[in-house]
């Protein structure tokens, strides 16, 4: 038989995760902007290998950190972006669409919409 969850520990853990998320938001926002710039550069045929590689790394980091914070859909989208950037020749329209979906998923979650992804 499992032991009941200590409510105090659960509340402290939830508070700590919320605090960490709040502190992480500026970095997440910057990473989103970098992905959006890479997607726009790719659409215009101007994405260099270095930018593509950096975007792949950023998408990888976002996939992990967003999953840790419970943003499951956003984590999945970031993983898809990572794979697209890794391919070396990602579809321009799909990159733009997925970066928009990633931002939209996070904004809806912040507004409390679809909080159970």
pLDDT tens for residues 1-59?
A: 556 667 888 889 889 988 999 999 999 999 999 999 999 999 999 999 999 999 999 99
Domain ranges of the chain: 25-110
Tokens (6 digits) for 95: 């990159």
pLDDT tens for residues 52-79?
A: 999 999 999 999 999 989 899 999 999 9
């Amino acid at each position: 038989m499992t032991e009941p969850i200590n409510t105090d520990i659960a509340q402290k853990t939830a508070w700590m995760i919320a605090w960490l998320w709040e502190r992480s938001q500026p970095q997440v926002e910057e990473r989103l902007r970098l992905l959006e710039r890479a997607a726009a550069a790719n659409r215009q045929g101007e994405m260099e290998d270095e930018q593509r590689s950096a975007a792949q790394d950023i998408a990888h980091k976002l996939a992990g950190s967003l999953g840790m914070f419970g943003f499951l859909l956003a984590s999945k989208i970031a993983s898809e972006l990572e794979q697209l950037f890794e391919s070396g020749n990602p579809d321009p329209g799909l990159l733009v669409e997925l970066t928009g979906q990633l931002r939209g998923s996070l904004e809806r979650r912040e507004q409390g919409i679809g909080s159970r992804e």
